Amino acid sequence: MQNYVAYHQFATLPNGRKVVIRFLNGRDRAALIQFFQAAPKEDLQFCKEDVKNPRVVDYWLKAENAQRIMALVAEDLAAKKIVASLNLYRGQHAALNVGEIHQILVARPFQGLGLGSLILDQLIDLTAKANFHWLKVEVITELKNVIKAFQSRGFKVRATLEDYFRDLQGATYDVVLMMRNLLKEEDDF
What are the tens digits of pLDDT across the range 113-152? 999 999 999 999 999 999 899 999 999 999 999 999 999 9
Q: Give the orientation angle of helix 54-61 with respect to helix 29-38, to 10 degrees.
A: 140
| Tens-digit pLDDT profile for residues 144-170 | 999 999 999 999 999 999 999 998 788
Asked, for residue 163, whether it belongs to a domain, the answer is no
What pLDDT is recorded for position 169? 86
Determine the length of the chain: 189
pTM: 0.90
CATH code at position 77:
3.40.630.30
Range of the domain at 81: 8-135
Torsion of CA 131, 3, 99, 133, to 10 degrees: -10
Q: 15 lies in a domain?
A: yes
Q: Which residues, 6+ apart, have CB-to-CB distance to 152 below 8 Å?
A: none
- Full 3-state SS string of 8-27: EEEEECCCCCEEEEEECCHH
d(CA 104, CA 84): 7
Please indicate, yes or no, if residue 154 is contained in any of the structural domains. no
Looking at the structure of the chain, the number of domains it has is 1
Q: Residue 57: exposed, middle, or buried by beta-carbon count in 10 A (0-12, 13-18, 19+)?
A: buried
Strands (E), the chain: 8-12, 18-23, 69-76, 81-90, 98-106, 134-140, 156-166, 172-181
Q: What single letter denotes the amino acid at residue 91?
A: G
The residue type of 187 is D
Residue 156 lies in a domain: no
